[in-house]
Amino acid sequence: MHHSSRFTRCFLIFLWVIICVPVVVFAQDATPEINMSNGRIIYVTETSAGHNTLMSMNPDGNESKPLTKNDVSPLAASASPDGAQIAFVDLTSYDLYVIKPDGSGQKRLTQGGPASNPNYSGWLPDGSGALYLTDKRNLRSDFDLTGNASVMRKEVFVASTSGGASGVIGEIPLAIDRIGNWSADGKWLVVNGTEAPVKKDGKWRFARGMYLAAVDGTIQKILNGDLGMGRFSPDGKQIAFIDGNRQLEVMTVDLTQSPAVVDHFKTIAGGFGSSVSSFAWSPDGKQIVMHFFMNIDTNGGPGFVYSVNADGNDLKMLAPTGQANATVAWISE
């Protein structure tokens, strides 16, 4: 019996070698090469206790260099549509800044910490203004889960890069949690948020999900659930998003239909004790850069920047960040 068991184990190992190894080799040979002319990856790393620095590196993780100095501590970063500027929120003041990809031209766009959530920033489709989330002042909804506390409504504001006054993007009827980017035609902004609730069985129930929001305040709900940030691919035919399990998924979107139709969901990365906190598409739409953190405790463990092909293949670790919720961006050159 002992000899038979040993023979069985050896035979199974032999089968694994002859069956699995060629598959692995084939997958490696089929992996497309990194496009080194595909711009630069922007990410945030913790350079000292409690202080962050905005960094830039090649798509393969080489030639990493700092863009900001000690006068700011960036947390959120997003690239303008033309790749000429990067918007970020300062963790200490919650003010919105812009800076050029080479680290020059740093400019403060807001005063007095208007950003209510420092994890998210974005842009207008033409790059003339940077977006951020803020609590709408003096307007509280008349509903909540308990019947006691009120809920502050959040809105997407824009700060002009030329130094003009800030203003709200339409009157979007959502309590917005996260802002993504615009469709290729500049008509729809991906946002995540909560609609006004409905009362069912004597309890208020919130309708959370992912939406397409127009500048005039029109919204379309495209996905239900407590989801993370969503972003259009450069061609506007796909939306990548972070699902309820903190995994990265990609789905197709058809904006020619009204309302828009989403389909063909595919999990790209995440799971196995890790969470995706942010991501961005490459300028050519063939790759995605992500920020992972390990689920060591409730505060999140160490973070890392990874890249992956848009089909889920060729996951690569590019750089450590030392924190859980840093954001990433990808700029064209």
pLDDT per residue as tens digits for the range 50-67: 789 999 999 999 999 999
Q: Are 76 and 119 in contact (CB under 8 A)?
A: yes
Q: Which of 12-26, 27-41, 116-130, 242-256 has the lowest mean pLDDT?
A: 12-26
pLDDT > 70: what percent of the chain? 75
Q: Which residues pair with 308 in a beta bridge?
A: 288
Question: Which of 70, 167, 171 is closest to 124 using CA atoms?
Answer: 167
Longest alpha-carbon distance in the chain: 83
Which CATH architecture does the domain made up of 31-331 adopt?
6 Propeller (2.120)
Task: Look up residue 158 and give its DSSP letter.
Answer: E
- Residue 189 host element (H or E): strand 189-200
CA distance 22 to 80: 43
Higher pLDDT, 297 or 127: 127
Query: For the chain, what are the domain ranges?
Result: 1-30, 31-331
Q: Are 293 and 279 in contact (CB under 8 A)?
A: no
Phi and psi of 311, rounded to 5°?
A: -95, 0
Q: Which of 323, 319, 317, 318 is nearest to 302 (CA)?
A: 323
The residues pairing with 134 across neighbouring beta strands, listed in sequence order, are 155
The whole-number pLDDT of residue 23 equals 25
How do residues 168-226 score in pLDDT, each as one tens digit? 887 777 888 888 999 999 999 999 988 766 666 776 666 789 999 988 888 899 999 88
**What's at 180, amino acid-wise?**
G
